[in-house]
Structure 1
């Protein structure tokens, strides 16, 4: 049974992550797995300080630092358990009852990769605990997760409400066609109005593919509002998003290139950074 992997860290956005997960679990009839990852805290105990202080003093300081690391780990473990308990209570209050909890001593990216084989959807916050409520800041882990996993990812922001519509940014390329098929097959977005938005680009037969995609979605039961746009891709999509009042964004993943400069210049990443709406990234 595939699960909704729900990543929480006790940050200001954790309740919104849980709200998004709860909606997703109801849409897909899948259980929720709450995931809390405890990052290893690297301290300078491995540095060679023998030339600066005496051996006895050095040994005493290293022992003290080791004790502090142990105390820090115990506090992190306790805080993590409280965070998991709070999130479970939040989910139960919102009508979700099939819930599991897990705590991992690893980075969040590694933890998600370990659990991906049993994942139907990954739900994570746009910004994490380290950003202290700065919702415009993109968590550094988001880029790595999108690069490494093939499971759909729902990125939550500072607020989440039950969506009634979504905007699909369709560019006529292979990743967009795959995203359309995943929307049809997946079930998560069934019952929502689809705003199909395409910006004129260099893809072959883009206008014809746009019309075919609209018809395909309609034949599969979606209510589709289609708009063929012109201009700069990012600007045109953002203007349409604002004008149409959509509740959620959906995009196919960007280039598979391993070059960071290609990834960082993608319209997908810019959309994630600049919007306050929840966003689904499909591979």
Structure 2
């Protein structure tokens, strides 16, 4: 059975991650699991420093450092358990039935790769103070590795999604994205604004019309617009002007919008987004 997986780390985005995961779980009628992964490289629970150059003869210091690292790791694991219980309690208060929790001590990417077949939607939070020119190495690695829809939330308070925007370029990935939105209960009964950034020509208009008809046939109110300009600015300006609650985009590819999500442009859109971004693969 596939489920919504929410990654909880105890930072300022964890509450928002929890709330959007609850929203998605209820909308899709999918089980919800909260995941906490403690990175072994930062929080070892079994430390051996005997190989450190210059410390080999200082056994007492080595033992003390190892003991401190082990204690720090175990305390972090206990803190993680408390965070998971708090998230579970919050979900129960929001009418989620039987939310589960899972804790791992290792690598977030490796853990999610092992769980990939059971993931229907992954919810992650971005940390604005750590982004600079990158999304954050862990978050970016997850986006590049996992072939599942990923909802990236901001540190802002949860806001019930009522209008969404889908960035469309006519590629196979974004056509699949249109079909996913059309068939998923996640956005049902919401207006879905369809935006294409490119040249106003017959091919682009035809592609946009296909996407609009597909969504309208599924019952969506679908304002569709073909705009020219720099992709990031066009999308951000449109989102602000129409008070959009969530942006939906394809994650990778070779066309204009999907190049926008590779390398520095990927980090730019996610870093600057003031609303959650749903990345589709």
TM-score (norm 2): 0.89
Deviation at 1:255, TM superposition (A): 2.5
Q: Please name the residue that 1:61 is paired with.
A: 61
Q: Distance in 1 between matches of 2:202 and 2:62?
A: 64
Change (3 A) 1:21 1:136: farther
Q: Please name the residue that 2:230 is paired with.
A: 232
Q: Distance in 2 between matches of 1:138 and 1:9?
A: 16
Deviation at 1:187, TM superposition (A): 2.4
CA RMSD of aligned residues (A): 2.6
Q: Distance in 1 between matches of 2:243 and 2:165?
A: 9
Contact 1:197 1:227 in 2 (8 A): yes
Q: Distance in 2 between matches of 1:273 and 1:41?
A: 26
Contact 2:200 2:227 in 1 (8 A): no
More deviation, 208-217/138-147: 138-147
Contact 1:165 1:193 in 2 (8 A): yes
1:47 aligns with 2:45: no
Contact 2:252 2:261 in 1 (8 A): no
Deviation at 1:135, TM superposition (A): 11
Q: Distance in 2 between matches of 1:148 and 1:39?
A: 17
Q: Give SS of 2:90's match.
A: helix
Q: Please name the residue that 1:192 is paired with.
A: 190
Contact 1:135 1:157 in 2 (8 A): no
Q: Please name the residue that 1:25 is paired with.
A: 25
Q: Distance in 1 between matches of 2:224 and 2:261?
A: 29
Q: Please name the residue that 1:182 is paired with.
A: 180
Task: Deviation per CA, 1:1-22: give whole Å up to 9, x if none.
Answer: 2111110000011010000000
1:249 aligns with 2:254: no
Q: Distance in 1 between matches of 2:269 and 2:199?
A: 18
Contact 2:182 2:214 in 1 (8 A): no
Change (3 A) 1:184 1:262: closer
Ranges in structure 1 where 5+ consecutive residues have no aligned partner: none
Ranges in structure 2 where 5+ consecutive residues have no aligned partner: none
Change (3 A) 1:185 1:269: farther
Q: Give SS of 1:263's match.
A: coil
Contact 1:127 1:135 in 2 (8 A): no
Change (3 A) 1:72 1:261: farther
Q: Distance in 2 between matches of 1:175 and 1:202?
A: 21
More deviation, 240-249/204-213: 204-213
Contact 1:126 1:137 in 2 (8 A): no
Contact 1:171 1:201 in 2 (8 A): no
Q: Give SS of 2:196's match.
A: strand
Count residues in correspondence. 272
